[in-house]
């Protein structure tokens, strides 16, 4: 498969891709919305590897396929720069720091029966994360919301999100309404316009069926197949992931109890990098280091495969008038979902005048002085740990 055309294909080295995503994997706290914001800062504003339009197209595509959206966005970016090698390097380097850290937490958990206290660090980091997300929303919104119609569409998507409508349904409605608005250009539609989503969903379905059909007694193979199935079908946030994990490992297999599951999800939330490294924690509890490795590979492998299928088709979608209009709708819906997450996180994070002050200072540092968000997160985490010690 040929790598997609990119103006950076000759200039970006695999070492640069590895360094950038290792850094993000080590410092990207706050979940998918924060990860997306930090990637926009790193690859659009700072490094110039992508335009805002290219970044938004890849974000929309990542939201249309199952799996962890921020990890898939990382894989899309790597593929766009250096083809298959870039795809593998970007995805692995984003995942590995978090997986190692989660494994260490899991080892401490198994040995001591509880998690290290992280309240102070999280208390100070969360307001910084809100500022980072808000900054990215402002910049991406100026590029993505190109018409009054898309602005109204984004407002509708945000409203549906606050009403707890499934994120996939929100994106589907946004794409449908945008497609209807562009219906007069139907004659220009090409078959490839819909193949990205269709092939991606078909691949996901085959992975899920294979994982379910090959179920065997408890073993590393069964652990791998369970997470392969989950990684192939889960859309949405860590809370959606929680429902799938409970059904598989608490109710069906009885490998975990409720407390262990909640602790696993908590570790995925407060460590940097992908929230799906919750799988790493569960794998370690079930089968030690081999289990952590097998679970991690199982839950993230579908993302690599789905990006491989859908990535080369994005330019074809943009060449189709109707499909391009639908993709604009998905982009607007994606930003609305991100805004809703930012609001909900903000309500939980801004609890007193100290957190409000951290938010304001972080926003000024980001907007006025263009400070790197990673340094703000490190500083806030250190101060939080000192304040709560």
Helix (H, G, I), strand (E, B) or coil at 240: helix
pLDDT digits (tens, 9 = 90+) for 301-352: 998 998 888 777 766 766 677 777 887 887 788 788 778 878 877 887 888 9
pLDDT digits (tens, 9 = 90+) for 166-200: 666 787 888 888 888 866 444 443 444 444 444 44
What separation, in Å, do the N-terminal and C-terminal C-alpha atoms of the chain show?
Answer: 54
- In this predicted structure, the answer to whether residue 50 has a pLDDT above a threshold of 70 is yes
Distances (CA, A) of 179 to 57, 59, 153, 174: 16, 18, 12, 8
pLDDT digits (tens, 9 = 90+) for 259-277: 788 678 667 766 888 878 9
pLDDT digits (tens, 9 = 90+) for 59-102: 888 877 778 888 999 999 999 898 889 999 999 999 999 999 99
Mean pLDDT over residues 27-36, rounded? 80
| pLDDT confidence bin for 248, thresholds 50/70/90 | confident
pLDDT digits (tens, 9 = 90+) for 113-170: 666 666 677 688 778 878 877 887 887 788 788 888 999 999 998 898 788 776 667 8
Instruction: Give the pLDDT confidence score for residue 318 in this predicted structure.
Output: 65
- In this predicted structure, the answer to whether residue 23 has a pLDDT above a threshold of 70 is yes
Whether the CB-CB separation of 277 and 296 falls below 8 Å is answered with yes
Phi-psi region of 371 (alpha: psi -120 to 50; beta: other; left: phi over 0): beta
| pLDDT confidence bin for 290, thresholds 50/70/90 | very high
- The enclosing H or E element of 286 equals helix 278-310
- Tell me, what DSSP letter sits at residue 214? T
Whether the CB-CB separation of 117 and 48 falls below 8 Å is answered with no
Tell me the range of 192-196, 219-223, 289-293, 340-344 where mean pLDDT is highest.
289-293
- In this predicted structure, the answer to whether residue 9 has a pLDDT above a threshold of 80 is no
Domain boundaries, the chain: 9-115+144-332
Instruction: Give the pLDDT confidence score for residue 327 in this predicted structure.
Output: 73
The span from the CA of 50 to the CA of 40, in Å, is: 9
Instruction: Give the pLDDT confidence score for residue 118 in this predicted structure.
Output: 63
Distances (CA, A) of 75 to 14, 19, 88, 107, 387: 13, 14, 7, 29, 37
Helix (H, G, I), strand (E, B) or coil at 66: coil
Q: How far is Cα of residue 78 from the mean position of the Cα atoms in its chain? A: 15
- The enclosing H or E element of 280 equals helix 278-310
- Tell me, what DSSP letter sits at residue 275? G
- The enclosing H or E element of 58 equals helix 52-64
Instruction: Tell if the pTM clears 0.85, that is, is over it.
Output: no
Which residues, in sequence order, are CB contacts of 332 under 8 Å at separation 6+?
Answer: 144, 145, 150, 151, 153, 154, 157, 174, 178
């Amino acid at each position: 498969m040929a790598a997609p055309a990119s103006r950076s294909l000759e200039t970006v080295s695999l070492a640069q891709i590895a360094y950038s995503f290792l850094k993000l994997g080590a410092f990207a706290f706050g979940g998918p919305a924060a990860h997306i914001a930090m990637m926009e800062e790193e690859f659009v504003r700072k490094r110039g590897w992508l335009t805002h339009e290219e970044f938004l197209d890849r974000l929309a595509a990542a939201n249309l396929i199952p799996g962890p959206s921020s990890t898939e966005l990382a894989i899309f970016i790597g593929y766009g720069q250096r083809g298959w090698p870039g795809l593998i390097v970007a995805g692995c380097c984003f995942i590995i720091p978090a997986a190692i850290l989660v494994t260490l937490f899991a080892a401490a958990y198994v040995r001591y029966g509880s998690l290290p206290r992280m309240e102070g660090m999280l208390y100070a980091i969360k307001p910084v994360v809100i500022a980072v997300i808000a900054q990215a929303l402002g910049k991406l919104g100026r590029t993505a919301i190109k018409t009054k119609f898309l602005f109204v569409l984004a407002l509708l998507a945000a409203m549906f999100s606050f009403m707890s409508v499934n994120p996939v349904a929100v994106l589907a409605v946004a794409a449908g309404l945008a497609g209807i608005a562009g219906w007069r250009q139907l004659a220009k539609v090409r078959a490839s316009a819909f193949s990205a989503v269709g092939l991606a969903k078909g691949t996901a379905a085959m992975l899920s069926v294979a994982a379910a059909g090959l179920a065997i007694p408890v073993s590393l193979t069964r652990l791998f197949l369970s997470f392969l199935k989950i990684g192939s079908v889960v859309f949405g946030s860590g809370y959606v992931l929680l429902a799938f994990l409970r059904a598989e490992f608490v109710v069906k297999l009885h490998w975990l109890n409720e407390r262990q599951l909640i602790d696993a999800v908590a570790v995925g939330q407060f460590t940097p990098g992908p929230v799906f490294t919750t799988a790493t924690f569960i794998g370690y509890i079930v089968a030690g280091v081999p289990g952590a490795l097998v679970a991690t590979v199982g839950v993230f492998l579908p993302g690599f495969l789905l990006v491989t299928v859908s990535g080369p088709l994005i330019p074809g979608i943009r060449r189709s008038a109707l499909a391009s209009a639908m993709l604009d709708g998905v982009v607007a819906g994606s930003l609305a979902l991100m805004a809703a997450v930012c609001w909900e996180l903000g309500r939980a994070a801004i609890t007193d005048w100290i957190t409000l002050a951290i938010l304001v200072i972080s926003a000024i540092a980001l907007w006025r002085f263009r400070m790197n968000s990673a340094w703000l997160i490190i500083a806030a985490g250190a101060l939080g740990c000192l304040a709560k010690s």
